[in-house]
Homo-oligomer: A and B are copies of this chain.
Amino acid sequence: MTSKPSPTPAPKPPLRIGIAGLGTVGAGVMKLLRENAALIRARAGRELVVTAVSARDRTRDRGVDLTGVAWCDTPEELATHPDVDVVAELIGGAEGAARLTVTRALENRRPVVTANKALIAIHGAELACTAQAADVPLMFEAAVAGGIPAIKTVREGLAADRILKIGGILNGTCNYILSVMHETGRDFAEILADAQKLGYAEADPSTDVDGIDTAHKLAILAGLAFGRPVVFASVYIEGIRRIGALDLQFARKMGYRIKLLGIARQHENGIEARVHPCLVPQDASIAQVNGVFNAVVAEGAFVGRLMLEGRGAGEGPTATAVCADLIDIARGAAIPVWGCDADSLTQAVALPAKSFVGEYYLRLNVEDRPGVIADITAVLRDNGVSLRSMLQHADAHETRPDGTHAVPLVLLTHKTNEAAMQHALHHIAELAAVLDEPALIRIDAG
């Protein structure tokens, strides 16, 4: 037998796409599909055309031509439109129109592509059953880390390996704020205000800066990595509002950067899933990921450590991810939603925070008089917390209105468990010489 050209098969019909939501991402998807139409047709083996759209406001100019595209007044109408083969849900939000669109589309046996992290993090287990019952794919590459193919890497690239750890820098807004705090020494509130002006932060920034967005993405990654959706409410979440300029100064002096990380690990007794600021060693590769960039870190038993770095948000990267999913569907790919059979799935409740083990950074503002350090270290000793190093910041010495001399003091611990650390912290905060609320930041290599 010799190789010969295959007989030309009948060309596949176009894949007809309905887009629900015409914000930045929805408009970006339309632009990308049009600008790269020839290239996408060659790679997908068929044309990808947008045949219907729905959005709240029909009159708004979105910079994309909607001629010849059906307008649906409700997402539900779009989900069941006769000229739609696959629905791209780009509305956002865990409930309401987004959830309804996805559910209706799946029930009507239409494949769904979504960029909606909240929806998948919270209702992903249920939607996986709906998708499997209808035997259609539900894809969400754009839900995690924008242009980084994180979902594909975990669900397909690492499908043969036992994943031990997954996470990373999953929110560009927080990483931008912390990067600028590090570079300029300025305070959180000022930089947040600037980021809002630049469009790097929302008018209501809480989903980002309080760690919720990171937690949505982490829950999805952990669910894929460990083969079980994680109950979102059980993820430990702490944001970056309480990180002060002083913490970044101390961190730098001690050879660290501060990053908001999502970290999930598989343990024998369950899954650990947590989001909080971290001191990471400044020579760790994740410490070099700055500005609005994201980084996804995975560690497998066979593959070792992988890090994927790229733009985590924005029109171009997110649209690229949505369209990659659409091309996969056009090519006939059919990967189960969580990488394995949905019927056998039970959701995992993440381990409680008190079971965490790690090193800690503790910053106190203390009265500058003899005996204070002895009192503090005694509390640590009594709780079995072992001290690794200590640093005082003499420049930040301050005399308070009542005449007290206050000075910041930073302690780094060896590995200890969170329950012991929290217990010690509680008692330290009660010491008379400890003047303000202590700041506790975990240390992790990312």
- Residue positions of A touching B, CB distance < 8 A: 1-6, 8, 28, 32-33, 36, 39-40, 42-45, 103, 106-108, 126, 129-130, 132-133, 135, 141, 147-149, 152-153, 156-162, 227, 283, 285, 288-289, 300-311, 314, 316-317, 319-321, 323-324, 326-328, 331-336, 339-341, 343-344
Contacts and interface: CB of A to CB of B under 8 A. Distances in A.
Given A152-B157, A304-B316, 7 more contacts: A3-B107, A5-B132, A6-B132, A42-B344, A147-B302, A147-B304, A285-B288
A320 B32 CA distance: 33
B39 A227 contact: yes
B6 A343 contact: yes
B36 A161 contact: yes
Nearest to A33: B160
A160 B340 contact: no
Nearest to A43: B159
Number of identical protomers: 2
B311 A308 contact: no
B316 A42 contact: no
A49 to B, nearest CB: 14
A316 B302 contact: yes
A415 to B, nearest CB: 25
Given A324-B159, A340-B42, A317 B334 contact: no
A310 B304 contact: yes
A300 B318 CA distance: 12
Contacts of A2: 107
A321 B304 CA distance: 12
A227 B3 CA distance: 21
Contacts of A328: 156, 159
Contacts of A153: 149, 152-153, 157
A156 to B, nearest CB: 6
A196 to B, nearest CB: 22
A340 B331 CA distance: 11
Contacts of A344: 42
Contacts of A319: 160, 302
Nearest to A130: B3
Contacts of A32: 160-161, 302
A306 B430 CA distance: 48
Contacts of A301: 316
A341 B45 contact: yes
- Scoring A45, A126, A301, A308 by chain B CB atoms within 10 A of each residue's CB, the highest score goes to A308
Given A6-B135, A42-B341, A148 B327 contact: no
Given A156-B327, A160-B36, A147 B43 contact: no
